[in-house]
A and B are shown apart, each in its own frame.
Chain A
């Protein structure tokens, strides 16, 4: 990370567009599926043909209410859709339907942890709006035309705006990740950043430490990953400080982040800023949200990440770190919970280690979100670790065996099947182990002498030999104990 130079303070506010996971568009019945052939998901309403009118998709409002509840915000009993007027070929009506003066969600907060410090990021508002279409230039250069794909036009978005309350790129990324966690957790957004389902614009300014007045800000657009968000802000902070230190002035402008060059570039300055001539959309009625409606949605809301994190800490005596990791996604949390249920709360820490260790490593490897080892199967492994039937090492082998589908039938008893199949049962019969130890000592006199001469490392070699001779089934703790006893005589 690049530290903020002494004597400077960074001020960041984020505007995030979360594409809502509704089946149809916000003001028409067209589907919202990603990746369809151009203009196959654009109806007469999306094309803004003469005489067409928007009709609000209630599902989009429900998403906004869910979000409001999740971040402890005020849900406006009455909010208004407004028209934002500007001309662009991929904006079919010549205006975007958005919310301006009265947004559906007001206030709220998102908790983040940076280092060991907890911080609450204050939200200004969240409002519903429609996305525009896409202009296509690629592959059309030689023909001298541009294509317009209106599949995306009218896709519902929730724009979530923070106060300018973040003070570093790290905080901004932590917030973006936490927000991403929330919207995916409550199921209102698929969170896919590559497909543009979750995009962040950062308003960045710098000021001399101690200064009260905000510096002139630049808005950075086109950031489609957390890493780029961090790098874009870091670049922008450096740039602005340099401008000021060189005696210049930061101009208010929109800048695009270019990931290939790792820099931000001016897109348009405030002088070209448009007058959007916002006014209430006369085609749409005010959105009225009753307490009863909110109550209905609230009762169907899943337990939120923050609540679940606290519960994990409390009920399973887990560290704040473990609990936070386990609640990073809803899938992980529910996987963990199923494992604990099977293995018993007393073994929650063991379950946590496995979920955050092997399970998560495997998921990273296969790049999916659903483990190949079912919770019940992992419980089967943990039970054998707990009753000392297998060593931790053997347990990992069992885990990967199940993941690779090595257990015939792939049932919930897959762990036992593989243990038997591969003879991984741990030998805890001290007589049997003593016999092997004796054989190993007899056959490795050189190591024995080295050990006796004070070379601790020699013990490892002997230990390895014993384990090998036992086909890795000897109880490691017992092996160590017996070895040490016999060598000290």
Chain B
């Protein structure tokens, strides 16, 4: 029996009807992961740990205490710290680091003494070092290969997560998004992912890149799967001061998803999305957008119109400014967040030093990769005396304006749609010597991050190179349930999200 590309709902049914046990499911996916080592999606697998959790899940299912997710395997981006598996952040700095505690997200999805969802952890997934990158080539442990074509990048920074889902190595994965790190790899690997509203998912236990932007989220085959996962991930966490505790933040994800456009049967009426206004920002379709991506996104928009939605032309005038604003703010915060990696208490310590200053400097020089160093330097520079106002403060002002642009746009539409990335996945190594070209790839995702809005990616076709293309759906704050419901309606009439690479059927 194949479970490789099965929906979470179907896996639930299989577990509940005893077609399969959690232990068998875990074995099944572990075996697939072990066979696909060439993809380099996983950084750490430990059969014993996984099967231990699976047995616990089976016991829980037997006691009749299963949640919607109990016994279903999940793999975590190696940015989330775990008590049992190593937590490396894709960096030599933390090559052997084991956390004494689990991240809140890991706890919520895992067993957590019966308080968690009861998912079974398959291991830790590769990513760009400290989540800095758009191609997963910045991992200290080697690039991840795109299951659709191993010569191509899977996107980043959650590239290991996206590749694992696309190749059917895991039915569910976590990722993090600071400037597009959930959405862009999802698009490039042909899977579904959502970055929720900033503050909905606890950052406790997420190794910080840029605190004001970092947000965890789920990656899976479909919007429905993502809704199930996100529902289990969100919630106020007193250990994270930026975690939201307002009434709005209590808006349930799954209930919102289910209530939004009625049950699946409404698809039969032909226009489940009747009255839904979709804003299409002209700035997302300008020069730089590859023709094949434009065509696929356009086709998706037509599909949404056929579901009853109306198209509204909107403008997000500061879209291009999101690149410089982001590449000031994110490195600034990163330069400070990464200061704790000094070789004093944990992590890599150089063998080559004469005094304290040298010990710290050399440990960092040896432990960090090139892109991380580039961002630390950029960040330290923009925060320096005499430059702070011109760069950091100015970027914060632009950030505020970008947020206002979105609010202006949402006056005339319910969702904003467009491409995730200007192109499909490029070849490994193609942009390595041009960091700026790499940064420009993030143009459609950065604004959402800066505004703290929820944004998702759903597969909407393939490019000329047969690589997947993603449709970006942006919602207003706390509107994740409806966003995923709209995407779900789209996925009821399309099959892009069910496609999988031939080699990983």
Q: How far is the CB of A277 from chain B (nearest CB, A)?
A: 4
Select one of A44, A52, A279, A282 contacting B388, CB under 8 A. Answer: A279
Q: Which residues of B contact A87 (CB under 8 A)?
A: 339, 342, 357, 360
Q: Which residues of A contact B87 (CB under 8 A)?
A: 50-51
Residue B351 at the chain A interface, CB threshold 8 Å: no
Chain B 73-94 near chain A by CB (<8 Å), digits 1 or 0: 0000000110000010100001
Query: Once the chains are docked, how many angstroms separate the CA of A246 from the CA of B204?
Result: 59
Whether the Cβ atoms of A51 and B103 lie closer than 8 Å is: yes
Residue B333 at the chain A interface, CB threshold 8 Å: yes
Select one of B99, B339, B341 contacting A51, CB under 8 A. Answer: B99
Contacts A94-B340, A94-B342 known; A277 to B383 CB distance under 8 Å?
yes
**Which of B97, B339, B341 is most buried by chain A, counting CB atoms within 10 A of its CB?**
B339
Question: Which B residue's beta carbon lies closest to that of A146?
Answer: B356
Residue A13 at the chain B interface, CB threshold 8 Å: no
Residue A53 at the chain B interface, CB threshold 8 Å: yes
Query: Once the chains are docked, how many angstroms separate the CA of A50 from the CA of B388?
Result: 27
Residue A68 at the chain B interface, CB threshold 8 Å: no
Interface of chain B residues 356 through 392 with chain A (CB within 8 A): 356-357, 360, 380, 383-385, 388, 392
Whether the Cβ atoms of B392 and A279 lie closer than 8 Å is: yes
Q: How far is the CB of A41 from chain B (nearest CB, A)?
A: 15
Query: Once the chains are docked, how many angstroms separate the CA of A50 from the CA of B344?
Result: 13
Whether the Cβ atoms of B211 and A50 lie closer than 8 Å is: no
**Which of A44, A50, A51, A56 is most buried by chain B, counting CB atoms within 10 A of its CB?**
A50
Chain B 338-349 near chain A by CB (<8 Å), digits 1 or 0: 111110111000
Residue B353 at the chain A interface, CB threshold 8 Å: no
Whether the Cβ atoms of B242 and A51 lie closer than 8 Å is: no
Chain B 426-444 near chain A by CB (<8 Å), digits 1 or 0: 0000000000000000000
Interface stretch, picked from B136-144, B233-241, B495-503, is: B233-241
Q: How far is the CB of B502 from chain A (nearest CB, A)?
A: 38
Whether the Cβ atoms of A50 and B99 lie closer than 8 Å is: yes
Question: Which B residue's beta carbon lies closest to that of A150?
Answer: B345
Residue A458 at the chain B interface, CB threshold 8 Å: no
Query: Once the chains are docked, how many angstroms separate the CA of A282 from the CA of B214?
Result: 11
Q: Which residues of B contact A85 (CB under 8 A)?
A: 335-336, 339, 383
Q: Which residues of A contact B385 (CB under 8 A)?
A: 275, 277
Whether the Cβ atoms of B345 and A92 lie closer than 8 Å is: yes
Whether the Cβ atoms of B241 and A92 lie closer than 8 Å is: no
Query: Once the chains are docked, how many angstroms separate the CA of A15 from the CA of B335?
Result: 29
Query: Once the chains are docked, how many angstroms separate the CA of A95 from the CA of B238?
Result: 22
Residue B203 at the chain A interface, CB threshold 8 Å: yes
Whether the Cβ atoms of B384 and A48 lie closer than 8 Å is: no
Interface of chain A residues 315 through 363 with chain B (CB within 8 A): none
Select one of B206, B239, B356, B383 contacting A89, CB under 8 A. Answer: B356
Total residues of chain B contacting the partner, CB 8 A = 45
Whether the Cβ atoms of A89 and B241 lie closer than 8 Å is: no
Whether the Cβ atoms of A283 and B241 lie closer than 8 Å is: yes
Chain A 232-275 near chain B by CB (<8 Å), digits 1 or 0: 00000000000000000000000000000000000000000001
Whether the Cβ atoms of B203 and A44 lie closer than 8 Å is: no
Whether the Cβ atoms of A282 and B333 lie closer than 8 Å is: yes
Query: Once the chains are docked, how many angstroms separate the CA of A148 from the CA of B344?
Result: 9
Q: Which residues of B contact A285 (CB under 8 A)?
A: 241-242
Residue A93 at the chain B interface, CB threshold 8 Å: yes
Interface of chain B residues 310 through 358 with chain A (CB within 8 A): 332-333, 335-336, 338-342, 344-346, 356-357
Query: Once the chains are docked, how many angstroms separate the CA of A275 from the CA of B385?
Result: 6
Query: Once the chains are docked, how many angstroms separate the CA of A444 from the CA of B466?
Result: 130
Contacts A50-B89, A87-B339, A285-B242 known; A279 to B206 CB distance under 8 Å?
no
Residue A386 at the chain B interface, CB threshold 8 Å: no
Query: Once the chains are docked, how many angstroms separate the CA of A210 from the CA of B185?
Result: 70
Q: Which residues of B contact A55 (CB under 8 A)?
A: 238-241
Q: Which residues of A contact B345 (CB under 8 A)?
A: 47-49, 92, 148
Whether the Cβ atoms of B392 and A51 lie closer than 8 Å is: no
Residue A196 at the chain B interface, CB threshold 8 Å: no
Query: Once the chains are docked, how many angstroms separate the CA of A51 from the CA of B80?
Result: 8
Whether the Cβ atoms of B208 and A51 lie closer than 8 Å is: yes
Residue B205 at the chain A interface, CB threshold 8 Å: yes
Residue A54 at the chain B interface, CB threshold 8 Å: yes
Interface of chain A residues 88 through 108 with chain B (CB within 8 A): 89, 92-95
Whether the Cβ atoms of A279 and B97 lie closer than 8 Å is: no
Whether the Cβ atoms of A283 and B242 lie closer than 8 Å is: yes
Whether the Cβ atoms of A50 and B332 lie closer than 8 Å is: no
Q: Which residues of B contact A52 (CB under 8 A)?
A: 204-205
Chain A 159-182 near chain B by CB (<8 Å), digits 1 or 0: 000000000000000000000000
Select one of A89, A275, A283 contacting B342, CB under 8 A. Answer: A89
Q: Which residues of A contact B81 (CB under 8 A)?
A: 49-51
Question: Which B residue's beta carbon lies closest to that of A42?
Answer: B345
Q: Which residues of B contact A83 (CB under 8 A)?
A: 336
Residue B416 at the chain A interface, CB threshold 8 Å: no
Query: Once the chains are docked, how many angstroms separate the CA of A52 from the CA of B94?
Result: 15
Select one of B89, B94, B336 contacting A279, CB under 8 A. Answer: B336
Q: Which residues of A contact B342 (CB under 8 A)?
A: 87, 89, 94
Q: How far is the CB of A28 from chain B (nearest CB, A)?
A: 10
Contacts A50-B81, A50-B99, A51-B81 known; A277 to B384 CB distance under 8 Å?
yes
Q: How far is the CB of B136 from chain A (nearest CB, A)?
A: 20
Residue A76 at the chain B interface, CB threshold 8 Å: no
Residue B163 at the chain A interface, CB threshold 8 Å: no
Whether the Cβ atoms of A95 and B204 lie closer than 8 Å is: no
Q: How far is the CB of A340 from chain B (nearest CB, A)?
A: 48
Q: How far is the CB of A55 from chain B (nearest CB, A)?
A: 5
Q: Which residues of A contact B380 (CB under 8 A)?
A: 277
**Which of B212, B239, B357 is most buried by chain A, counting CB atoms within 10 A of its CB?**
B239
Q: How far is the CB of B479 from chain A (nearest CB, A)?
A: 23
Q: Which residues of A contact B100 (CB under 8 A)?
A: 44, 49
Query: Once the chains are docked, how many angstroms separate the CA of A275 from the CA of B383?
Result: 9
Whether the Cβ atoms of B336 and A89 lie closer than 8 Å is: no
Q: Which residues of A contact B212 (CB under 8 A)?
A: 282
Contacts A85-B339, A277-B383, A282-B211 known; A49 to B99 CB distance under 8 Å?
yes
Residue B207 at the chain A interface, CB threshold 8 Å: yes
Q: Which residues of B contact A95 (CB under 8 A)?
A: 336, 339
CB-defined A-B contacts under 8 Å, sample of 17: A44-B101, A50-B87, A51-B204, A51-B206, A51-B207, A51-B208, A83-B336, A85-B383, A87-B357, A87-B360, A89-B342, A89-B360, A278-B383, A279-B336, A279-B388, A282-B210, A285-B241
- With A49-B99, A94-B339, A277-B385 given, can you name 4 additional A-B contacts, CB distance below 8 Å? A89-B342, A94-B336, A94-B342, A277-B383
Going nearest first, the 3 A-B pairs with the smallest beta carbon separation are A94-B339, A282-B211, A277-B383
